[in-house]
Structure 1
Amino acid sequence: MREQDFERLFERARRRAVRHPRVFRALVTVRATAGVGFVVLLGAVGVLMIGWALAPLFDEGLHEAPLLTVLQATVAIPALHLAQVVSRMLRGRFPPPDGLALHRDEAPALFDLLERLRRRFGTPPIHTVCITGELNAAITQRPNRFCGLPMRNTLVMGLPLALATSPRQFVAVLAHEFGHLRRQRVALGGLGCYLRALWHQVLENMESVASPLQPVFTYITEIETPLYCAESLVLSHLDELEADACAAEVVGAKRLGEALAEIALKHRFLADDYWAKVYAQANHSERPSILPYRHMAAALRAGFDRQAFADWFDALGHEQSDESRLSTHPSLRTRVHALGLEVPGEGASTDNAARRFLGEVVGQLASDLDQQWWQGQQRTWRKRHWEVSRALGKIAKLESEGQQLGVSERLELALLVERYAGDRDPLSVYRELMPQAPGRPDALLAMGRLLLSRGDPTGVAYLRRAIREDDAVGLQAAALLIEHYEDSGIGAAARPYRKRLGKLVRQAQLVQEALDAPLDALRSLPPGLEMHELRALVRDIRRHDAIRRAYVVRRRCDLAPRWRAYILVLCVERHMADALGDAAQEIESGITIPGLWRVTTVVVDGAEEAALCEVRGARFFSRKDGAVRV
């Protein structure tokens, strides 16, 4: 379904929800319950058919009418298939909440707060508290393992949330979550939420289950999935606004608005600034010296400019991404205005909720979360450190040659500086390169992209030249020009580039078909890559010990002759072919050489490698010496 059609469904559902919110929630729940019930009924029919088909085998029917009994028994085969299909469709993936379990004796102040809020809101108790590394909080409900009722409630709370908010703001956030529990009394309460989630899962399973009934299931999902997703999205917005209203009755609209804005501000700071600096340590250190959760409180106290608060909130009204109606939550501005506030107040407390409600256990929680984070990031971190170290060494070597560098080496230097030397300006390196290579499409693209990212309109000329020089690079250049003109408010100027982009996309599809063809189906041509481009491929390949040799060939599409299309072939031992699939995808996603690329694996010394050996200049890497071989 097109995005415009889905937006129309969303808008119609939103209007119904605004007029009759309780009725809307009840109808969506009934719709989900009926859908799940229909699937369960299909399963029951399958089981009953199995029983009917096999019953004569156990009541002497086989002796009285053997032929009829055998024919009747064959009905059990499609019935069994139907029961299996239904079991697969009802197989919901609802893992238990992930996080560190927190017990009452570890944080008595937090559990006392939860009990006071439970009594104030009149909700069921919180059975479990889990601490995660997210700047968020949620109360999840799962049916009882044995009878389904009563529901078990788990508070999933991020340690960053307690570090980022004052005690008053923290109480307001928890009040919002208890507001969800209070509102869920409507339409079967938490069980209704579970049924709605289960129906969404069933619809997803219908699309993937293999069965002769697949055309019927496809017809159902094509009609039901967009409508139900639109209604669920509206219901999600409605739940958030109603939970805000419930919380405002207890803690006050002003305090809740202040908490919502404070969390949004600090979420942006952590995502855009703090985590980027944490991961930037991999460029110069094998292990992080700043541990993300141990040092987060200090970073939140001093790491961002609070003077930008009012300007940032005012800018939200002009940011399409933050105001998108199709996100799972209403925008911050919508929520604040629904509370009757124009602009939320600014939090001024220097204390944080972690110190008040978690006490001494904060250090242990931060240490455990840091350990989990490092276990998940250790391999990627060290790989990044190795990659950056080699690249910086290559940069130093190239710069030591000074004026003796050729065009190919200067372009390699510019690419390395842009990708790995974050403290240096790559634009200056590209400027030095342009007089020597005025028509290089990749250099033109880089110049245009960097200039436009800095608000310099002279980048437009470079992108226009890149479109004329190379179609593969022109695809990216046209997209950048369209984005630039639309952001500048002159969308009419982007019209010829939209037409050009459409043509290039169609050509790209034809070239992709040529790339996807088997290696022996079409003629492979010498790659014609420069030395610095081959070295870049070697840097990505050398990290994977299973790769014995590597070849690169060029594919030509007669309907798009200007396109650069390459196949990178990795030769591995037979027993390693399947295990290298993820590595091949990783290498393909990391290739920066202009053109379309396909990375595939073949068996060492097989017939496919023998065919590649006949292409002049195709082999460029061998594990024997790990060097570029042309």
Structure 2
Amino acid sequence: MLKSEGDIVFEETARKAEQLAKANAGSYKVRLFLFAILGYMVIFGILASLFGLVGGLGWLAFSSSSLLIMLLLKKKLILLIAPTIWVLLKALWVRFEQPQGYELKRQQAPLLFNELDELQLRLNAPKIHRVLLEPEFNASISQTPRLGIFGWQRNTLTLGLELLLVLSPEQARAVIAHEFGHLSGNHSRFSGWIYRVRVTWGTLMEAFHQQQSWGAGLMCRFFDWYAPRFAAYSFALARSNEYEADAISAQLTSPESTKKALVNSYVTSSYINNHYWGHFFEQADTLPEPPHGPWQGLHGFLSEHEMAAAKLEEMLHHELQVETAYHNTHPALADRVRALTGGADSELEAKPLSSVQETAAYSWFGGEYETIIQQFDHQWMENIGSQWRERFDYVKQSREKMAGFHAKPVSDLSDEELWQLARFTEEFEGGVASLTYYDAFQQRHPDDADAGLIVGRILYDKNDEALLTQMKKALAHPAHVIEACEYAYYFLTRNERHEEANWWKQRAEEQVRIDAASEAERSELMPKDPMKRADIPIEMRQAIIDALAAHPKVKSAWMAEKVMQHYPEFPAVAIVVKLGGFIINEDKVVSELLDELEIDGTIFIVPKKREYKKLTKAIIKVGVRIV
């Protein structure tokens, strides 16, 4: 329902690009090529300028006279130029993180690697350097440049264990062939290059945002404008690439295998989430420890459980109603199937495999199958096991509290007790059962925004018009506005009251604009930003002081507050730290400080050094020394 201004610009740009690509593919590709090299021109232009500046100054200094050297030293221009060059070079030298997961070796799964070798040869595709397993129902090939923006790609194939537990070897081969298709020599070189550039610019934008330097800030300003627009303009080619990759998959396997793999990927994964994972995690409410490893349990579920054909068909029907949209380069299932069948209507069937022994995981992992399942179970217990116990303890304590609340008349419960009783009842017995207690709470606090939102959600499931009154109460809290508007909008549209629905849509869009402006306001700290003495809660202030005082590298610190135009009740704290001792990377120390603070809210930490001189001076001028 809701679209931000960025979403609207993206869709308009992508739609115009698609129209141009259909009308004149050659013209579109020329424009896309020029737009792609714009990013490289900016980056290499900056590099050329920096090295030209250094070389020019060096040549002038040593070919003219000592007068220029004296001038550079006396006016401290060297101290300005050298850090500037270093900061910009450091901003450009972006490290791209390698994908993480369980790494498969050839000796563990020789049949899988033989499949990869064959696909690589037939498609003239680049070498796969690593093969990873991850839990999700997914498959992807990622390219990580060893030299940052300068390329030299390291290719990683990531396969979801759940995917391989569901698909047959032929269907899994079709999925992998699709991923290879994006990089293959059978794909046009131009399409492959654009595919890599598209990923690179998006990753580069995120990397610049993670750096704490003004050099990265300068690059952010350009890539925040450039990367989303390039993604939108190249969207038409990216969408076309998905269809081409499907076609390549069908050629290497068969249209039927590719079609079945698509159906299973869209439908069976949702079925497993609802009927296996949902029930598995529900057991944490009653058992202190998992009854078995989750992956061993999934193995048993797929071996012994007969998936309900009617439910699968219902889920397939739902997926086929989904229309292709601009939030994802992947087309909708119906359009992908039509493309595979040449536009002809094709009967689809969501039919799982009859036994685990037929799956790609069992076939490709062979004798290592049980070992891999056990290792995934062990890793899951290390990562999630403590959360299971926490859930069990929480449910046990909550039910004990509920029993205590039920022992009293509702009128004798405090506001906090009544609220907890309503929330616990909703969580453990359902929304309808909790309405009695929410109604009692609202009799005491008729305009409470939190209660309005929750009661409105429950009434939405009952298709009760009273939800509109509740959602209007929820509008009093900015954090609830968008969700409240969405519920009201969907209720009204499904009851064909479109004129009323439009009011809620406009209210939500207004909130989206306000939130976007607030996010932009809190995303950066500049010397020109208005500052004031920090007026924050005592607990928050003391937590900041304690964290900074405990850090061995922080010698002194000052604190002020950025004046906010949106949501001034949520402060944006600006802190200057003077660091001491042996420090290789000050930005890394600042990142550590931000991680250690663990405080909800907006906090900027700026090291006291020359490149931030104006900013630190502005903060110290109005702030107070806290360390």
Counterpart residue identity of residue 309, structure 1: L
Distance 1:54 1:279, change over 3 A: farther
How far apart in 1 are the matches of 2:137 and 2:81? 49
Distance between the aligned counterparts of 2:392 and 2:599, measured in 1? Answer: 18
For 1:4, give the aligned amino acid. Answer: I
Normalising by structure 2, report the TM-score.
0.70
Contact 2:135 2:162 in 1 (8 A): yes
Tell me which of 377, 380, 383 is aligned to 2:384. Answer: 377
Task: State the one-letter code of the partner of 1:70.
Answer: M
Match for residue 598 of structure 2 among 550, 563, 582: 582
Give deviations 1:10-44, integer Å, cap 9, x for gaps: 10122233456687567645543442244123213
* Cα displacement (A) at 1:122: 3.6
Alpha-carbon deviation of 1:410? 3.8
1:291-306 to 2 correspondence within 5 Å? 291-300=293-302, 302=305, 304-306=307-309
* 2:331 match: 330
Change (3 A) 1:285 1:254: same
**What SS is found at the alignment partner of 1:156?**
strand
Relative distance call for 1:166 and 1:307 in structure 2 (3 A) is farther
How big is the shift at 1:150? 7.5
Give the Cα–Cα distance (whole angstroms) in 1 for the partners of residues 120 and 498 of structure 2.
54
1:76: Cα distance to partner? 4.9
Deviation at 1:103, TM superposition (A): 2.0
SS in 2 for 1:131: strand
**What's 2:461 paired with?**
453
**1:181, distance to aligned residue in structure 2 (A):** 2.8
Equivalent residues in 2 for 1:107-118, closer than 5 Å: 107-118=109-120
Match of 1:71 in 2: 71
Other structure's SS at 2:233 match: helix
Q: Report the Cα distance in structure 2 between the residues aligned to 1:154 and 1:6, rounded to whole angstroms.
A: 29
Aligned partners of 1:241, 1:508: CA distance in 2, in Å? Answer: 36
Provide Cα deviations, 1:33-61, integer angstroms capped at 9, x if missing partner: 4422441232133123223323466x5x6
Aligned mates of 2:514, 2:139 — CA distance in 1: 47
| CA–CA separation in structure 1 for the residues paired with 2:92 and 2:215 | 18
Picking from 39, 52, 57, the partner of 2:56 is: 52
Change (3 A) 1:329 1:46: same
Return the TM-score normalized by structure 1. 0.70
CA contact (8 A) 1:135 1:159 kept: yes
Aligned partner of residue 95 in structure 1, secondary structure? coil
Contact kept? 2:140, 2:157, Cα under 8 Å: yes
Can you list the C-alpha shifts for 1:350-396, whole angstroms capped at 9, x where unaligned? 22111111112122222222333333334544443333332121112
Q: Partner of 1:180 in structure 2?
A: 182
Distance 1:410 1:215, change over 3 A: closer
Change (3 A) 1:52 1:329: same
- Where in structure 2 are the equivalents of 1:200-215 lying within 5 Å? 200-203=202-205, 210-211=213-214
Shift of the 92–276 alpha-carbon distance from structure 1 to 2, 3 Å rule, reads farther
Cα deviation, 1:475-531, whole Å, max 9, x if unaligned, reads: 56555323321343312123555677799999999x999xxx99995999xxxxxxx
Structure 1 residues 294 and 233, CA gap change in structure 2 (3 angstroms): farther
Q: How many percent of aligned residue pairs carry the same amino acid?
A: 22
Please name the residue that 1:140 is paired with: 142
Moved more, 403-412 or 142-151: 142-151
> Do the aligned residues in 2 keep the contact of 1:151 with 1:191 (CA within 8 Å)?
no
- The answer on whether the counterparts of 2:130 and 2:155 sit within 8 Å (CA) in structure 1 is yes
2-structure distance, mates of 1:212, 1:353 = 48
The equivalences for 1:467-486 within 5 A come to: 475=481, 480-486=487-493
Q: Structure 1 CA distance, aligned partners of 2:29 and 2:36? A: 11
The aligned runs of 1:490-505 (5 Å cut-off) are 490-495=497-502
Is it true that 1:41 corresponds to 2:45 in the alignment? Answer: yes
| 1:112-159, Cα deviation, whole Å (9 max, x unpaired) | 222333333343443432222121222334457799897544322121
Q: Cα distance, 1:578 vs. partner?
A: 7.0
Partner in structure 1 of residue 242 of structure 2:
240
CA distance in structure 2 between the partners assigned to 1:193 and 1:522 by the alignment:
47
Structure 2 residue aligned with 1:16, among 20, 41, 46? 20
Equivalent AA in structure 2 for residue 327 of structure 1: N
* Whole-angstrom distance in 2 between the partners of 1:67 and 1:81: 22
* Alpha carbons 1:183, 1:243 under 8 Å: kept: no
**Secondary structure at 2:179 match in 1:** helix
Q: State the distance in 2 between where 1:293 and 1:8 align.
A: 44
Matches within 5 A, 1:202-601: 202-203=204-205, 210-211=213-214, 218=221, 220-221=222-223, 224-300=226-302, 302=305, 304-319=307-322, 323-340=324-341, 342-343=345-346, 344-347=348-351, 349-350=353-354, 351-401=358-408, 405-406=412-413, 408=415, 409-419=417-427, 421=428, 424-431=429-436, 434=439, 438=443, 440-441=445-446, 442=448, 443=451, 445-460=453-468, 463=471, 466=473, 475=481, 480-495=487-502, 581-582=597-598, 584=600
Which segments of 5 or more consecutive residues in structure 2 lack a partner in the other structure? 522-530, 539-546, 548-566, 572-591, 603-623
Q: Could you tell me which amino acid in structure 1 is paired with residue 433 of structure 2?
A: S
Asked if structure 2 preserves the Cα contact closer than 8 Å seen for 1:451 and 1:459, the reply is yes
The alpha-carbon deviation at position 263 of structure 1 amounts to 1.1
Structure 2 CA distance for aligned equivalents of residues 236 and 200 of structure 1:
14
Instruction: Kindly report the root-mean-square deviation, in angstroms, between the aligned alpha carbons of the 2 structures.
Output: 4.6
Inter-partner Cα distance in structure 2 for 1:212 and 1:99: 33
Indicate if the aligned counterparts of 1:39 and 1:86 stay in contact, CA closer than 8 A.
Answer: no
Shift of 1:579: 6.8
* CA positional deviation for 1:462: 5.1
Instruction: Report the Cα distance in structure 2 between the residues aligned to 1:66 and 1:333, rounded to whole angstroms.
Output: 75
Structure 1 CA distance for aligned equivalents of residues 168 and 318 of structure 2: 25
Amino acid paired to 1:582: E
User: Is 2:111–2:365's contact at 8 Å kept on the other side of the alignment?
Assistant: yes
How many residue pairs align between the two structures? 526
Decide whether aligned partners of structure 1 residues 500 and 88 sit closer, same or farther in structure 2, where only a CA change above 3 A counts.
same
| Partner SS, residue 327 of structure 2 | coil
User: Residue type of the partner of 2:173?
Assistant: V
**Aligned pair in 2 of structure 1 residues 584, 142: CA closer, same or farther (>3 Å)?**
closer
In 2, Cα distance between equivalents of 1:372 and 1:440: 47
Q: Which amino acid aligns with 1:450?
A: I
